[in-house]
Chains A and B, each alone.
Chain A
Amino acid sequence: EVKLLESGGGLVQPGGSLRLSCAASGFTFTDFYMSWIRQPPGKAPEWLGVIRNKANGYTTEYNPSVKGRFTISRDNTQNILYLQMNTLRAEDTAIYYCYNNYYWGQGVMVTVSS
């Protein structure tokens, strides 16, 4: 059974940083592109970026809306996907999901507020 379990969310002040994790199991992690997607309450999802699979050198692509502030990485020995978020703004408040092109995690809430 595929499982994607995000963690690391919470309340952070504007300008702060946060690192999200996504623990993956039930599939061969290195074979899959892994993405982060966020969804502000009541709004449509927004794709943030992707880290490719082993065959494609684990390279990354980002949405211009977060490029330079957010960084995606992966630990292929522990099957964990990361999202490092810096210089956070109120508009970054959302549920953050990891996604392997087929399955979504349950999501983790990030609230940016003073």
Chain B
Amino acid sequence: AQSVSQHNHHVILSEAASLELGCNYSYGGTVNLFWYVQYPGQHLQLLLKYFSGDPLVKGIKGFEAEFIKSKFSFNLRKPSVQWSDTAEYFCAAAPYNNNDMRFGAGTRLTVKP
């Protein structure tokens, strides 16, 4: 069955610390991968997406993610987090040219000032 796993449920960091959130997917064939962020009280916003090409994808607000096909992973990274990065982060995957998008359980990031 198609699924997306996020292993970190809650991550707490201090400002300026580096961030890496894990995401693994279970899909057959070509897959599109996404990271969304949901700030408190706000709706989902797309951080970045991978469809093809360079496996290192750069998104908004200094975030990046690396697609490693052999590991079925699409981890999100940021070199130096800020207090304003406190939010819920969702990894999602969908088969190529297919609308069947599945979300991971989400990772709550708390950044302490």
To the question of whether A and B form a pair in one complex, the answer is no
Q: Which residues of B contact A (CB under 8 A)?
A: none
Q: Which residues of A contact B (CB under 8 A)?
A: none
